[in-house]
A and B are shown apart, each in its own frame.
Chain A
Amino acid sequence: MARWTANDLKIPQGRLVLVSYLSVGLVILLLVGFWKLQVVQSGHFEDLAERNRVRSIPIIAPRGAMLDRDGRILVDSFPSFSILLLREDPKAIEKQLPQIAEGLGIGKDDLRQQLEAAKNEPKFQPVVIKPAASLADIAFVESHRADLPALELMMVQRRRYPHGSMLASAIGYVGEVSATQLEESDGHYRPGDIVGQAGLEKQYNETLEGTDGMRRVVVNSVGKVMRTLDNLEAIPGKPIQLTIDYDLQAIAENDMADKEGAVVAMDARTGEVLAMLSRPTFDPNDFAVRIPVDQWQALDSDPATPLLNRAIQAQLAPGSVFKIVMATAMLESKAIPETMTAFCPGYATFYGRTFKCHVFGKTAGHGVVDFHQAIVQSCDIYFYNVGKLLGIDRISYYANALGLGHRTGIDLPSEEQGLVPSEEWVQRVFHRKWYAGETISVSVGQGAVTTTPIQLARMIAGVAGAGTFAQPHLLKGLANLRPYHFAISDDTVEKVTQGMYGVVNEGGTAAGARLQNIEFCGKSGSAQVIGYDVRNRLGKQKEFRDNAWFVGYAPRRNPEIVVAVLVQSGEHGGAIAGPIARDIVKAYYDKKNARSQQQADASPGAQPGAARAVVATVGARQP
């Protein structure tokens, strides 16, 4: 027997017992470990297991459409597919990248850049590599399900603006929710949500956006959907009907072409905005998918400010349109006899400074002008005198009373308020006294006074409407519209509107805007962007050409429609801006007349068939 088998040593019983104890101790330690996970922390891990298992897929609610006053579609939404790249297998993606890039028509480097940009996001979050997939793209993804599993389709609702940049400034645009908006929404929005960012899209976002649905699915460890747990359908956003008239808008868009400026047409009785545009503008379709950063920056920093809605945001000197405020103040305050006349030799001197009339250098002046002719010919000298006699505080009082210097309250975000200067204002802002000479400039709508096109439209409509200022608005049937009243005597209204009638119909400053059978009235303005002195020094460069204004309305008393037109660098309000206002007013009446003609044709006597149909309908409604 080998030496090692000799049984001369005892079995080490004690050490074996120690091994037993050690085993018991270790098993207890393990059980403590399991106890910690399974009993102490089990709730936490149950949450994590549930989060693993259940994936919530949002069902995007389509945004509501925007219709014009006749129900024509101005903005709508349509389903579209985004192509996602799942990034869970970077090696496979790297290998398939050329095939994917080619198949979807994306540059290889572009695709790499997109992946690079998403490098720090969690890997299970896919990257949108193509936001608006074409049918060919969708077919490519579907046909390569097996060999390119990293590609996935996601249905999204995209905003569509079928008329491109038409009405864009009022409509605004949508965009991905910003970090600030996310925070303020208090959980209402998720990253990547599309919300209204400007204009009506922003104003009526709550109505338009609807409620996203949610599909909860069980997924396995590789993200494959095993079954659906529940399905909460999306509630589509509600459509909104605007007061805009597509036909009038189209004429305004066409007339303005690529002129810089703004147009606002409004129903003077109700405040319904019939047309609104601002130039230059943008195409909201560019924002509907995902606007490239450089394109956004180009728009946002463009010195021509295409994102500005000049109709409510341009604060410019109103020029001679302001003379309507002066005329109203003169008659209403009774501080000056209404029979006042002034002699216009083309210039006048006040407080040792020479002030020119707009005809200076062209004619020998207006000669002797009375109240009516002062408006018709827009004589500056007459209104310098009116201003001097009224004083800045009276001017300021009436300007404010006629709605200038504060927002009209139109249902659009970011409306500007303009400025009506006063002694109190210079004291507060510049800590100095008001110079009497400044009053002279303000009298003809120059100097510190600034207004927006919408303010001027409302002001003219209010004066012609005997002191009833309708609330401008874009949403049809907007509730709680409270017109603002400022009593103006009938005599004043009559005299001022006679003046404005003369501007168009008596060889006034907007004689070219005259219309047959329509009492088209208005007031032109040519507002200096800078002082005459500076302009003379620099020469007549385009940048310093006068802004042309025309605010027209019809009929003369209690107007139905009012149109404010601003053409920046347009020089002569009556000649440049007047015809645009005229075309819109004409279109308004053409349409109105056509409609009443239609109604007349459809009357029971003319068409018995139609009458029977009406009777039948009425009969059917009876219980």
Chain B
Amino acid sequence: MKDRPHVRDFDWTLLAIAFTIAGLGVLEIYSSTHASAMTGMQWKQMMWMAAGVAGMFLISRIDYHTLLDQAPALYIFGIATLLIVLAIGHSRFGAKRWVTLGGGVNLQVSELMKLIIIIVLARFFSEVRTDRLTLADLVKAGVLTLVPVGLILVQPDLGTAMVLVPVAVVGAFLAGIEWKHWAAGAVLVALLIPVGWNMRHHLKPYQQQRIRTFLHPEENPRGAGYQILQSEIAVGSGGFWGKGFAKGSQNQLGFVPVRYSDFILAALAEEQGFIGVCVVLLLYLGLILRLVDNAQKAKDRAGVFVVMGVTAILGFHVLVNASMVIGYMPVTGIPLPLMSYGGSATAFVFLALGLVMNVRMRRFVN
């Protein structure tokens, strides 16, 4: 009897990989904070994981087709929330990203928008009834994506805003973007980079600073280039075998910036060495490949777009975060999913995995 979706059809391999990564994250959060005023953060992180897992089960119960049916309403809800945050949300670290829920819990609403954009774009691309995207389709998808991107950008949160874009790009690729549009897009981006470079003076000072810092990290060792340089020192000094658990001087003495969150990979690289990094990155690769496998086995194209939307966001997070830690990309504030400390982000990942389970457990239904 394979008619009803059941929890036993969850992708347990995928979950095992996710929990392994999250477990390594909890250990590293402990290592980074146990000797500081922030000691005990790992418990909070586990609490958020538990909440996320509960959400995962919940979200998997609602048929993704039902969710996709509600895409327009969800989209409007998401946009409205972003506007409300801009109006009344409170600032933290200089950005309006948070709404306070009851009990002192702050929720970063842009995390919610990630889930919504996955559903909205999955719905949009599913509605294209050919295997070839027209220019009009592309423009529509672009507008759907860029409205929330713009709203998050003015929070300002460049990192999260950028995270929405790969959902559209991967979606368009899978939906059959034409090579000429692909090429045109590439040319457009190539043209926009120098324009954007010249427009950099219109960026917020902190963004200008980040770009400068990225290009010349050694310019001012105690100033702007400090974070990247300290991260590189942590990673490099870890060597092949690492300095040992809770023994990284860069990590333990606080030289690595936000070592329990955005730079947790640097802390891990210092203490666990290249070997540890290999393990973590291969786990992430396993996670991505397993997600793609789920897409391949989806029942319909809607399922493919849902799963690949999740894949696009997680993959982008890992790529950008790891690149930042080794100085290949500027500091953007994009956390490492499942490892970095952060309630909303951790909850998001499990909810997103819930969407994947949702698709997977329904592949044989009907």
Binding site for B on A (CB under 8 A): 2-13, 15-16, 19-20, 23-24, 26-27, 30-31, 33-39, 41-42, 44-46, 48-50, 52-53, 88, 122-124, 218-222, 226
Contact = CB atoms under 8 A, between A and B. Distances in A.
Contact of B235 (A8, A11, A37): A37
A312 B65 CA distance: 104
Contacts of B230: 52, 221
B302 A5 contact: yes
A41 B236 contact: yes
Interface stretch (B5-13, B75-83, B125-133, B348-356): B125-133
B20 interface: no
A220 B285 CA distance: 35
B269 interface: yes
A49 B234 contact: yes
Contact of B174 (A15, A44, A88): A15
A39 B323 contact: no
Contacts of A24: 285, 289
Nearest to B265: A34
Contacts of B255: 49, 52-53, 220-221
B222 A27 contact: no
18 contacts: A2-B69, A8-B129, A11-B296, A16-B296, A20-B289, A24-B285, A30-B281, A31-B278, A33-B328, A36-B326, A38-B235, A39-B274, A42-B238, A42-B240, A45-B235, A48-B237, A52-B255, A123-B220
A19 B273 contact: no
B116 interface: no
A90 to B, nearest CB: 10
Interface in B236-254: 236-240, 249-250, 253-254
A4 B237 contact: no
Contact of A37 (B236, B253, B299, B300): B236
Nearest to A51: B233
Contacts of A3: 127, 129
Contacts of B131: 9-10, 12
Contact of A45 (B176, B232, B323): B232
Contacts of B223: 123
Given A2-B69, A3-B127, A37-B232, A49 B304 contact: no
Contacts of B319: 26, 30
Give 5 nearest A-B pairs by CB, closest first. Answer: A45-B236, A49-B237, A221-B254, A220-B253, A37-B236
Nearest to A8: B129
Interface range for B: 35 or more
A36 B274 CA distance: 10
B282 interface: yes
Interface string B52-78: 000000000000010011000000000
B222 A124 contact: yes
B284 interface: yes
Interface of B is mostly: helix
Nearest to A226: B253
A122 B130 CA distance: 63
B236 A7 contact: no
B112 interface: no
Given A45-B233, A45-B236, A122 B254 contact: no
A52 B221 CA distance: 11
B17 interface: no
Contact of A33 (B273, B292, B326): B326
Given A9-B301, A34-B269, A88-B222, A42 B236 contact: yes
Contact of B274 (A12, A38, A124, A219): A38
Contacts of A122: 221-222
A582 B328 CA distance: 85
B298 interface: yes
Contacts of A35: 274
Interface in B192-216: none
Interface in B115-152: 123, 126-127, 129-131
Most B C-beta atoms less than 10 A away, residue of A5, A7, A44:
A5
A220 B284 contact: no
A122 to B, nearest CB: 7
Nearest to B220: A123
Contacts of A2: 69
B21 interface: no
B166 to A, nearest CB: 11
B208 to A, nearest CB: 19
A16 B174 contact: yes
Contact of A42 (B237, B249, B289): B237
B292 to A, nearest CB: 5
A53 B295 CA distance: 48
B167 interface: no
B288 interface: yes
Given A45-B233, A222-B254, A33 B249 contact: no
B308 interface: yes
Given A31-B281, A49-B234, A5 B253 contact: no
